[in-house]
Amino acid sequence: MNQNLQQQTQSLPQLKDNENSQIKIGDVTLKSCVMLAPMAGITDLPYRQLIRRFSSNSLLTTEMISSEMLMQNRKDGNKILENLENEFPLSYQISGHKPHMMATAAKKLMDLERKPSIIDINMGCPVRKVVCGGDGSALMRTPQIACDIVKAVKDAVDIPVTVKFRLGYTVSEINFKEFASLMQESGADAMTIHCRTRSQMYSGVADWQAIAGIKKYISVPVYANGDITSPQKAKECLEITGVDGIAIGRGTLGSPDLIHRIEHYLLTGELIEEADIQTKIKWAKEHIDAEVALRGEKNAIPFMRKFYPYYIKGVQNAAATRGTLMSATDYKTIIDELDKISQMF
């Protein structure tokens, strides 16, 4: 740890012990209060493996899996369902708006060789195509259907069921308080709240303050989510909201060790320095290799493009490099370019 970071650490209040870090969701005990937030097209098996390498206790989450796709037994669904033993505790997130279909989808997941630890229900996705079908955050406008989904999924499986939603649909429809109570009454074992409305999509700043006080009336674990990008922000978010845990999404891009660094900081008050560029490039290469192994080179090369800007963030004059990485169509060009950057430092 460098001198600067050490000084910052000493001026911050220290946690007494790890009393705040255990969370019980139904009969699943988590030894960490930090979880990976689900991200479609991101939190696949290779990505979760990268996170797990650093954090052995955090709750990991799959990408959103459409209940309709699960019903159709589509071939492209197989990859999204794959898991490895070391990933557990692992939550599978499903989406949809038909209670019976969601229940059947959840049951199907129970047939996996290694069944989920938890089923999470997506009630927060803001994407137009999703909400137009009545799924994702559209469910915040149809709370009765949302309740029926939770009850149906609870009846269908014998593992904990959680929900993830937003503050409301629009700023004039903020209903997370009533919604959270309804979810709890319907049997939800925990909930994650992305502190934005649907109409904000991902813009503006997540309003952690909005959910402060929620633990006065919600007894199941609550996770705060949105804009937690550093150990200090994680602590600040927990302090402001007073909730049980935090879910981290985009902050992990290019920083698969972030959840570990947060966990360490919450437990010890010590900051672990962010990785240098060589290390990040090493992670990027390992990520590519794992995606090639999962999807084959043809699919993995375009799939990986969204990740490069994060792995090479902070590289001076990175435009040309980024251009090469984004346009490359073969594995060797990408690895050579990454090696070139690594050697510059």
Q: Would you say 119 and 91 are in contact if contact means Cβ atoms under 8 Å apart? A: yes
Q: Is 74 left (phi over 0), alpha (psi -120 to 50) or beta?
A: beta
The count of chain residues that interact with ligand FMN, using the rule CB under 6 A, is 22
Q: Is 124 in the site for ligand FMN (CB under 6 A)?
A: yes
- 31-39, 66-74, 81-89, 322-330 -> range binding ligand FMN (CB under 6 A): 31-39
Catalytic status, residue 132: no
Q: CB neighbours (10 Å) of residue 344?
A: 12
Q: Is 292 in the site for ligand FMN (CB under 6 A)?
A: no
Q: Is 37 in the site for ligand FMN (CB under 6 A)?
A: yes
Site string (229-248) toward ligand FMN, x via CB under 6 A: -------------------x
**CA–CA separation, 254 and 19 (whole Å):** 30
Closest to 245 measured CA to CA, from 58, 120, 93, 95: 58
What tokens were used for 183? 């979810």
- Candidates 226, 231, 245, 254; binder of ligand FMN (CB under 6 A) is 226
Q: Which is nearer to ligand FMN, 207 or 324 (CB)?
A: 207
Q: Which is nearer to ligand FMN, 245 or 251 (CB)?
A: 251
Q: Which is nearer to ligand FMN, 93 or 184 (CB)?
A: 93
| Coil vs helix vs strand at 81 | helix
- Candidates 25, 30, 54, 63; binder of ligand FMN (CB under 6 A) is 63
Q: Is 96 in the site for ligand FMN (CB under 6 A)?
A: no
Query: Got the DSSP string for 145-159?
Result: HHHHHHHHHHHH-SS
**CA–CA separation, 198 and 183 (whole Å):** 18
Compute the residue count for the chain.
Answer: 345
**CA–CA separation, 290 and 288 (whole Å):** 5
- 27-35, 67-75, 76-84, 221-229 -> range binding ligand FMN (CB under 6 A): 221-229
Q: Is the peptide bond before 256 cis (omega within 30 degrees of 0)?
A: no
What does DSSP assign to residue 332? Answer: H
- Candidates 122, 184, 186, 200; binder of ligand FMN (CB under 6 A) is 122
- Candidates 99, 116, 251, 256; binder of ligand FMN (CB under 6 A) is 251
Q: Is 227 in the site for ligand FMN (CB under 6 A)?
A: yes
- 38-46, 107-115, 149-157, 316-324 -> range binding ligand FMN (CB under 6 A): 38-46
Q: Which is nearer to ligand FMN, 41 or 296 (CB)?
A: 41
Q: Which residues of the chain form beta strands (DSSP E)?
A: 23-25, 28-30, 34-36, 60-66, 90-95, 118-123, 161-168, 190-197, 222-225, 245-248
Residues serving a catalytic function are 125
**Contacting residues toward ligand FMN, per CB under 6 A:** 37-42, 63-64, 93, 122, 124-125, 164, 194, 225-228, 248-251
